[in-house]
């Protein structure tokens, strides 16, 4: 059984979107990250080196948000790949990327994509 580290509701203003106008105007985005990892060693050692750093997860998400993409799927995949590159020992990772008030022609609080690897 794996242990879980989660960051919820990371918020960014970024320039993602299928339409050129979205990439010019920008929008608000939220990201949730869930990492499954064995934390038994960290729980005993009380050492940051034995866990997954919340701060590093945030920095990975922030870096991915700075590079415009057409699809939320692309943003989520970038985040997952960077997390696995830094923490190859994790068991699984899920990343949700939400766009606030997407341009759908009607009321929609958020559009969300979740990738699980």
Contact in structure between 61 and 10 (CB atoms under 8 Å):
yes
Choosing from 24, 41, 59, 99, the catalytic residue is: 99
User: Residue 66 carries which DSSP code?
Assistant: T
Asked about 99 being catalytic, the answer comes back as yes
What region, left, alpha or beta, does residue 26 occupy, with left being phi > 0 and alpha being psi -120 to 50 degrees?
left
What's the burial of 32, exposed, middle or buried (CB within 10 Å: 0-12/13-18/19+)?
A: middle
Active site residues: 99
């Amino acid at each position: 059984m794996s242990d879980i580290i989660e960051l919820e509701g990371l918020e960014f203003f970024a320039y993602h979107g299928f339409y050129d106008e979205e990439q010019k105007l920008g929008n608000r985005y939220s990201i949730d990250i869930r990492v499954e990892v064995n934390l038994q060693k960290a729980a005993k050692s009380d050492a940051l080196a034995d866990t997954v750093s919340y701060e590093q997860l945030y920095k990975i998400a922030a870096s991915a948000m700075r590079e415009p993409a057409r699809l939320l799927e692309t943003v989520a995949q970038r985040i997952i790949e960077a997390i696995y590159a830094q923490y190859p020992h994790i068991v699984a990772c899920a990343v949700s990327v939400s766009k606030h008030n997407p341009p759908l022609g009607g009321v929609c609080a958020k559009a969300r994509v979740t990738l699980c690897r």
